[in-house]
Amino acid sequence: MLRGAFKELVRYPSALAGLVVIIFLVAVSIYTVITIPYEEAIRLWRGGEEIWGDVPKLAAPAWFNNFTAKKRPLTIKMTSDDEAGVERKQAQVSDALWTDDVVYSFDYPYDDFPQEIAVTLLAQVREKAPYVSLIWVKPDGTEVRLADMAVEGGKRVYRVSQDEKLGRKLKLPENVNPVVGLFAEDPTAAEPVPMKGTYQVRLEGTLFEPEDTLQSKLVVYGTVYGWAGTDHLRRDLGIALLWGTPVALSFGLLAAMGTTVLTMLIAAIGVWYGGWVDALIQRITEVNLVLPVLPILIMIGVFYTRSLWAMLGVIILLSIFGAGIKTNRAIFLQVKAQPYIEAAKAYGASDWRIIFFYMVPRIIPTIIPSLVTLIPSFVFLEASLAVLGLGDPVLPTWGKVIDDARANGALYQGLYYWVLEPSFLLMITGIGFAMLGFSLDRVFNPRLREL
């Protein structure tokens, strides 16, 4: 019978479209779980400065550049150990003086300014901290002395945007990022444009012991990153979007399955035993109808736990006595009156045997469509909880990305990608399952078929 149903199903274009979407989502989930294992995803999402440090903040997806005339910069990252674009000269000047000069050269073909320039200096010394001068060389040969400093304590990070002295030296107006001054053709213009060409950063290091070493890293933070962009904590949104897929699918599927199957069993038990069991089930259903589900979930999230799987359990508990009991009950009442049940009773089949093997199978075709249509509503429920700030504390999910975006004013600041990416995924999940579910409904409920 199921094979026939499948043949019937593929005749509906919307069912096919829904299936394609679902297969795509399942494929993404499998790919994600295999390539980024759970621990790795948690590390990448909840790590810290050492993982996200070299990634720009609030950067749009890199493919934006394919659609705009104005090319936005990618991030440029170089270290003193690199081969390409880095020239390093180490020499001894006297008995107590060594030099370590590094020249970083990079091409800058973009039409917009970078967010930030940062130079990280790492020194391993015995006694006296090494001394470093930073010099910025524009493509036209102009030199700007950025800073002179001692690398105290082994580590020093120099950030151009925080250097107010530099802004004054470049004669920039107030509130203009010094980065603009370093890249602009004419920094005082109303709308400055970056100069294209090869820039250089020259590092002149002075060391005082033969064993002392100096490592450095240059990062020019762009304004686009990866295929999904980044958030306010410099995290790659791609991780959350990818990992959100298996989480959403498993949450929706488990909740829908749990709810539908338990509802059906309860309805079957009520109908079969009748009497006070049935009456009790009916009354519980009526009470359940006036229980405020979302506020109760909020209460549980605040007082006890925010774990996604605990929430799942509570959601199932709160929804098993839902409106589905009434519809299932009506069908079971008809099934119970049929002669084959009478026959089963006559040859002495046990109550459970009759419920599980004679009644339940009859209702499965009608609950499959409602199960599929229920999945998106649970996926959206998870997102709703996340938007209320009650998302799972550990797992990255789509809803949590939307929540972060909303809380950080993404819509006000025009960071539309941040909201649209998770929303798009939620939307196609919802539509995909709904399209399949509606088509299944037509296949299994022939009364709807001609309409």
Residues that bind another protein (CB under 8 A): 14, 18, 286-287, 289-296, 298-304, 323, 326, 330, 373, 376-377, 380, 383-384, 387-390, 402, 406, 411-412, 414, 416, 419-420, 423, 426-427, 430-431, 433-435, 438, 447-448, 451
281-306 as b/e: b if 16+ CB within 10 A: beeebeebeeeeeeeebbebbeeebb
| Nearer to another protein (CB atom), residue 325 or residue 395 | 325
Phi, psi of 376 (to 5 degrees): -60, -35
Rounded Cα distance, 132 and 130, in Å: 7
**Helices and strands of the chain, counted as H and E runs:** 17, 9
In angstroms, give the least distance from the CB of 344 to another protein. 23
Q: How many CA atoms lie within 13 A of 274 on its CB side?
A: 5
C-alpha count within 13 angstroms, C-beta hemisphere, residue 302: 7
Residue 219 burial (10 A CB sphere; 0-12, 13-18, 19+): buried
* Least distance in angstroms from the C-beta of 242 to another protein: 21
Min dist CB 390 to another protein, Å, is: 7
Our CB check for another protein shows the closer of 246 and 432 to be 432
Given the complex with another protein, which of 5 and 289 has the nearer CB atom? 289
Q: How far is the CB of 191 from another protein (least distance, A)?
A: 22
Give whichever of 191 and 450 is closer to another protein, judged by the CB atom. 450
Residue 393 CB partners (closer than 8 Å, separation 6+): 306, 307
CB 245 to another protein: min, Å:
17
Q: Which is nearer to another protein, 239 or 426 (CB)?
A: 426
Q: Could you count the other beta carbons within 10 Å of the beta carbon of residue 318?
A: 18
171 burial via Cβ count (<10 Å: 0-12, 13-18, 19+): exposed
Element (H, E) at 386: none
| Minimum distance of another protein from residue 326's CB (angstroms) | 8
> Considering the complex, what minimum distance in angstroms separates the CB of residue 273 from another protein?
15
When the beta carbons of 119 and 435 are compared against another protein, the nearer one is: 435
CA distances from 15 to 69, 365, 433 (A): 39, 16, 9
Q: Cβ(209)–Cβ(123) under 8 Å?
A: no
**Identity of the residue, 96 or 294, whose beta carbon is nearer to another protein in the bound complex:** 294
Helix (H) / strand (E) containing 317: helix 308-319
How would you classify the pairing of strands 155-159 and 197-207? unpaired
In whole angstroms, the minimum distance from the beta carbon of 290 to another protein comes to 4
Strands (E), 59-139: 76-79, 86-94, 97-108, 116-124, 131-137
Q: Which CB, 128 or 283, lies closer to another protein?
A: 283
Task: State in angstroms the smallest separation of the CB of 171 from another protein.
Answer: 36
State in angstroms the smallest separation of the CB of 430 from another protein. Answer: 4
Q: To which H or E segment does residue 219 belong?
A: strand 213-221
Distance of alpha carbon 47 from its chain centroid, rounded? 15
Query: Of the two residues 21 and 354, which places its CB atom closer to another protein in the complex?
Result: 21
Whose Cβ is closer to another protein: residue 141's or residue 295's?
Answer: 295
Which of 324, 417, 306, 425 minimizes the C-alpha distance to 369?
A: 324
